[in-house]
Amino acid sequence: MFESVYEEVLNYELCKEGFYVERQKPLPVIWDDIKLNLGFRIDLMIERQLIIELKSVQDICAVHKKQVLTYLRLTGLKLGLLINFNEALIKHGIQRIVNGL
């Protein structure tokens, strides 16, 4: 399925459990005190503490991990999850990304 389907379902389930979820949250870059809207969007931000980036790809690449790390650095958050739904078992598709390690 498309990533957008997994995003919608995960958003629904998290909200149902009482979590505050921001979906497709715009992420501007500040340069010389100027806000640049470069098109960065966080798939899901949970409780303003956790970033979740969703994929449905054959293989996770280094660029996918770098994307999550960039989002963490721009927001100042410490923890992100990169989830690839294109796995036989979902537990094999979850990668924890930590800002500062």
State the Cα–Cα distance between residues 12 and 77, nearest whole angstrom: 23
Question: Which pLDDT tens digit goes with each residue over 15-59?
Answer: 999 999 999 999 988 888 888 877 789 999 999 999 999 999 999
Domains by residue range for the chain, with CATH = 3-98 (3.90.320.10)
**Phi–psi pair at 47, nearest 5 degrees:** 55, 25
Burial of 83: CB neighbours in 10 Å, binned 0-12, 13-18, 19+: buried
The structure tokens 């999850």 sit at: 81
- Note the pLDDT of residue 59: 93
pTM value? 0.90
Query: Around Cβ 81, how many Cβ atoms within 10 Å?
Result: 17
Q: Report how far residue 75's alpha carbon sits from residue 52's, in angstroms, rounded to the nearest whole number.
A: 13
